Structure 1
């Protein structure tokens, strides 16, 4: 699962990234409200941890922008402990509120609770993704094509999920590296090309019709084509 942390205290942001990553999550960090709002609106996140006191845009503004677009769970962090601030955040659409200072254990427990709740109520994300004769069962982490199970590794499955969620969109190597591997893409690194090649061997080679295509100079796209 992917979490966005919007926190202007860089040491705290780094601490949360480290702790949440060690707990099994993929974590992006923004240190101001403008970047946080952009990432929240453009990225695909399962949860946003959002500080109130931010430069550029405060947490309430970021929350308002986010709620106008999607229903991702939001845990707000703040040094403000006033009841009025908690009421304002919850009324604006925050799912939970945690005052500073806090223990990482408490934050992690709240994150896990929100993710469980979000999974139960999420109606914008189907549990089965389909395109043509390709089907991905997300809870069972099972991929099939024409009824035949595809023997995918964990990374290959995550890569295919991203392609299927963004079907018809050309995804650059940089975006794939960031979304699936949580790394900054280095042009001297061929990890993305190697992974796509291996995925294509399992996804397309045994079948007559190709679904995963290379767009020269731009990246890759999953789509149905009449060839």
Structure 2
């Protein structure tokens, strides 16, 4: 059973989400503030399949918690925000969150997002290649790591998922909608700049110059293309 840790300062919301998610075969741990969350996370980090962070908390904020989680783990993170300001969402993604949900939302919507992320990050079919190698890098789909010429490349869960999608579709021109659907399970909205943030961050991680990228190239008016030669292998 997949285990989820949720922090939200609203007791009614916590109880509702726990009951709903447990009804759908998830194990749920709850926290009401940042201190409680960190204690639960430190206790169960290796067993968690997802973390859900409310941005507004009485003793800290979800951004600080997201940063702390990412220093230790690549566990998927969904952030809950009551703000309609796009900046909050961009900041969350820059810190390593995998998705966000704006309040108010329904438990059904949250469940759909959870399932979408688990499908993208947790299903490795036996017939699929384990390794993708390109330009001196090796992506391991089982360990969910990327190793480069200088050693392990520090990637968030969203960074990894985006790179994995690129290498699986190397040479194809991918527009924003395709990339958003393939990596986040949702369409790109007219004001959705998160993909640009993620690609810029991924280029930085791979030392791929944004001014003259050799791996992830922008195709003006069409999208992006992963231009490196990629080989796939099971071992």
TM-score range with shorter-chain normalisation? Answer: 0.5 to 0.7
The 3 A distance-change label for structure 1 pair 68 and 101 is same
Q: Which has the higher contact order (CA 8 A, sep 6+)?
A: 2
Q: Using the alignment, how far apart are the partners of 1:20 and 1:64 within structure 2?
A: 25
Is there any run of 5+ residues in structure 1 with no aligned partner, and where?
126-227
Q: Using the alignment, how far apart are the partners of 2:120 and 2:43 within structure 1?
A: 23
Partner of 1:38: 39
What TM-score does the superposition give when structure 2 sets the normalisation length?
0.51
After TM superposition, the runs of 4+ consecutive aligned structure 1 residues lying more than 6 A away are none
Within the alignment, does 1:96 sit opposite 2:99 as a pair?
A: yes
- The alignment of Structure 1 onto Structure 2 pairs a total of residues equal to 125
Q: Choose from 33, 52, 67 the match for 2:55.
A: 52
The 3 A distance-change label for structure 1 pair 45 and 122 is farther
Distance apart, 1:122 and its partner CA:
5.6
Distance apart, 1:118 and its partner CA:
2.3
Q: Choose from 123, 131, 137 the match for 2:143.
A: 123
Q: Using the alignment, how far apart are the partners of 2:116 and 2:20 within structure 1?
A: 16
Q: Choose from 60, 67, 70 the match for 1:67.
A: 70
Q: Which has the larger radius of gyration?
A: 1
Distance apart, 1:53 and its partner CA:
0.3
Q: CA-to-partner distance for each residue in 1:156-182, whole Å, 9 max, x for gaps?
A: xxxxxxxxxxxxxxxxxxxxxxxxxxx
Distance apart, 1:73 and its partner CA:
0.2
- The RMSD of aligned alpha carbons is 1.6
Distance apart, 1:124 and its partner CA:
6.5
The 3 A distance-change label for structure 1 pair 122 and 49 is farther
